[in-house]
């Protein structure tokens, strides 16, 4: 999508930028963002295009492919790179959660944190169009954290009963 928005009010620009980030788009340059083509991304961009126009801007959708195989691969690598940082944070958060659970921290807080991590992981996976290698690592870290948190919750329940 190639787009332009009036400078003021600035919140339209922020909203569109946020939406593109949430969809996992890659900015090729200012006002030009790319997504891999499928029925979902196409539809989401169509609605975003409408939004830009409603906000007094201009937006056009283009189907484009890089000129060479090498450029295509580099682009896919850039898309993967976008997800690496987020997966990295999730891995750290899951490890931290597991350590807290092993020390027997407050159960409610642990379950809430687990739910937050789960949701963030689902969102990340949805916009991970080129299967970043860190996805598996994050998945494993979260499963391990879940196992330890659940074991702790089970132990607390048995102690209450006893």
Binding residues vs other proteins (CB under 8 A):
19, 22-23, 39-40, 43-44, 46-47, 49-51, 54, 119, 122-123, 126
Cβ proximity to other proteins: between 24 and 152 the closer is 24
CB of 43 to other proteins, least distance (A): 7
CB of 47 to other proteins, least distance (A): 5
Cβ proximity to other proteins: between 32 and 61 the closer is 61
CB of 92 to other proteins, least distance (A): 22
CB of 108 to other proteins, least distance (A): 18
Dist. CA 52–CA 73, nearest whole Å: 30
Cβ proximity to other proteins: between 49 and 132 the closer is 49
CB of 39 to other proteins, least distance (A): 6
Cβ proximity to other proteins: between 55 and 105 the closer is 55
Question: Contact at 8 Å (CB) between 40 and 23?
Answer: no
Dist. CA 24–CA 72, nearest whole Å: 17
Q: Which residues contact 59 (CB under 8 A, 6 or more apart)?
A: 1, 2, 3, 4, 48, 49, 52, 53
Cβ proximity to other proteins: between 126 and 155 the closer is 126
Dist. CA 133–CA 150, nearest whole Å: 27
Distance in angstroms between the alpha carbons of the first and the last residue of the chain? 62
Report residue 8 CA to chain centroid gap: 28
């Amino acid at each position: 999508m190639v787009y332009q928005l009036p400078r003021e009010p600035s919140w339209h620009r922020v909203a569109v930028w946020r939406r593109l980030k949430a969809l996992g788009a890659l900015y090729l340059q200012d006002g030009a963002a790319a997504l891999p083509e499928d029925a979902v991304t196409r539809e989401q961009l169509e609605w975003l295009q409408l939004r830009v126009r409603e906000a007094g801007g201009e937006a056009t959708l283009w189907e484009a492919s890089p000129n060479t195989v090498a450029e295509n691969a580099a682009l896919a690598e850039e898309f993967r790179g976008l997800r690496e940082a987020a997966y990295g944070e999730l891995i750290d958060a899951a490890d931290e959660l597991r350590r807290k659970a092993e020390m027997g921290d407050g159960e409610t807080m642990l379950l809430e944190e687990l739910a937050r991590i789960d949701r963030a992981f689902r969102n990340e996976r949805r916009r991970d169009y080129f299967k970043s290698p860190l996805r598996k690592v994050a998945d494993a870290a979260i499963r391990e954290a879940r196992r330890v948190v659940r074991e702790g919750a089970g132990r607390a329940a048995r102690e209450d009963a006893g």
